[in-house]
Structure 1
Amino acid sequence: MIYKFEVLITPFQLSRTIHLYLPDNYEESDERYPVIYMYDGHNLFRDQDATYGKSWGMETFLNNYDKPFIVVGMECNHEGQKRLDEYCPYEVENAYFGKIQGQGKPFMQWVVDELKPYIDTHYRTIPFRECTMIGGSSMGGLMALYTVIKHNDIFSKAACLSSAIGFCFHELQDELNQANLQSDTKIYMDWGSEESRHKRGLAYATSQNLEMSHQLVLRGAQTYPHLIINGKHNEATWEKQIPIFMDYLWK
């Protein structure tokens, strides 16, 4: 079951849609559920809501998966370049996009301080970190990685698909150098072989992801770095990774 409701992102004083997945038997049960928080939540469930007309098909997957979840999909800001600003933790200059304002930290704090408490109050969640995951793709994957590093006390798992870590790779390294991740932390990270225009770009993405994975392991986490052969930077590719990261993170 998919429900939509509006929330106020107080740091920005902006209204935003939440795309909420509940198990089909939620109303007939008193069971409590682990929770998955996802950036770019409008792309998860229904093609008609997705930016490019193709969703991850995550509703169909979860309806047939052998473990039930609540999924909280946070819609992004669709205005101009605001998504990049909200989904980048640092103020950076990019050769293609120019200056990115770096509003990721206050957005993440809103998720931790306001959205999660709201979900835990209004729905039957298992609120503990062991049962709480963060995820996303592209800039959302970057934010998922940043979130699990900064708030490992809240999130024990992260799915970081085609993460845009190249926007702020050295800043993330500095962040990670100050972190101590709990030993049960599990992070899935992937990148597609067809995301880059040339072999040099693929080599660069591979090097960055493997180095980040190595640094995460040194700080105490478990990782699953995954190069997707013929993988592209789109929802069709990310949909195919759902069973892989779900099994790795939850089983």
Structure 2
Amino acid sequence: MGRVETFDFYFPYKNVDKSIHIYLPEGEGPFPVLYMYDGHNLFFNSWATYGTSWGLKDFMDNYPQPMIIVGIECSHQGSERLWEYSPYKIEQSIFGSGLIDGYGKQYMEWLVNTLKPHIDNKYPTLSDRQNTAVGGSSMGGLMAFYSGLAHNKTFSKIASLSPSLFFCKKQLMEEWEHSQIDPDSRFYFSFGEEEIENSPQALSPVEYFNDAIQQAGASSMIHIQAGGGHNEATWAAQNQRYIAFLFEER
């Protein structure tokens, strides 16, 4: 059985410590690594904001391919999570937040250049691009997709579940034009069936980028979870699907 450790790691841009929740499988390794946003929601219901987690501790304990999962907890102060998980300044109000002066770019520089080297030095990781993945949901799904564009030299596998791409599609399209996507990249997108019925505009940018990724010679897919909504239970139900796709389980 694997174990979950928690430690604080300094984020200088905001002068705060970020809580890191890391799943470590049994064995000596080295292991592939999956970085994920909203790390407090990943492993235990008792830690999760709404009382339901992704159940990744139990899932990985029974999954045949061991890997390390690094969950980075978001800020819980007001609307700070929206700023933290937006790579851009957003003039329009989303979720009643008002203007968002996003600092996701600085956050990603910290993750790639400071947190990741720390994880690679401390734990038995396979640190190369081929064995490094990133994932998240909602605003974390936006950050995961942005990670795959802006830091494709670091991340070869991207899980973007229920991603909030629609309000910054223009900026992401500009980001895409300046990105060099390695053909050995894998992008997993998904939505719950019910959230698409309630917010059909959310699917359009994902379809656009799914086509663009495939035209660039990389692998991409969109999954619609039957009966699914915008919640942890829907994302947890896809653990097998997105991990198998990203790591090419046969």
TM-score w.r.t. the length of structure 2 is 0.94
Cα drift, residue 180 of structure 1: 1.6
Query: Aligned pair 1:64/2:62, yes or no?
Result: yes
Name the aligned partner's letter for residue 6 of structure 1: D
* Counterpart residue number, 2:150: 150
* Counterpart residue number, 2:4: 2
Cα drift, residue 197 of structure 1: 6.3
* Counterpart residue number, 2:44: 46
* Counterpart residue number, 2:231: 234
Cα pair 1:162 1:189 within 8 Å, conserved:
yes
Which 10-residue stretch deviates more, 106-115 or 10-19? 10-19
Which 10-residue stretch deviates more, 175-184 or 83-92? 175-184
Cα pair 1:176 1:219 within 8 Å, conserved:
no
Residue by residue, what CA displacement relative to the aligned partner does 1:140-194 show, whole Å, maximum 9, x if unpaired? 0000000011111100000000000012111101100111211110000011221
Query: Aligned pair 1:92/2:90, yes or no?
Result: yes
How large is the Cα RMSD of the aligned pairs? Answer: 1.2
Identical aligned residues as a percent? 41
Cα drift, residue 196 of structure 1: 4.8
Counterparts of 2:114 and 2:197, CA distance in 1: 40
Q: Which ranges of structure 1 fall in alignment gaps of 5 or more residues?
A: none
Describe the shift of the 1:196–1:214 C-alpha distance in structure 2 as closer, same or farther (beyond 3 A): closer
The SS at the match of 2:237 is helix
Cα drift, residue 209 of structure 1: 1.4
* Counterpart residue number, 1:18: 20
Structure 1 stretches of 4+ with a deviation exceeding 6 A read none
Counterparts of 2:48 and 2:203, CA distance in 1: 28
Which 10-residue stretch deviates more, 116-125 or 219-228? 219-228
Aligned length: 244
TM-score w.r.t. the length of structure 1 is 0.94
Query: Aligned pair 1:207/2:204, yes or no?
Result: yes
The SS at the match of 2:238 is helix
The SS at the match of 2:91 is strand
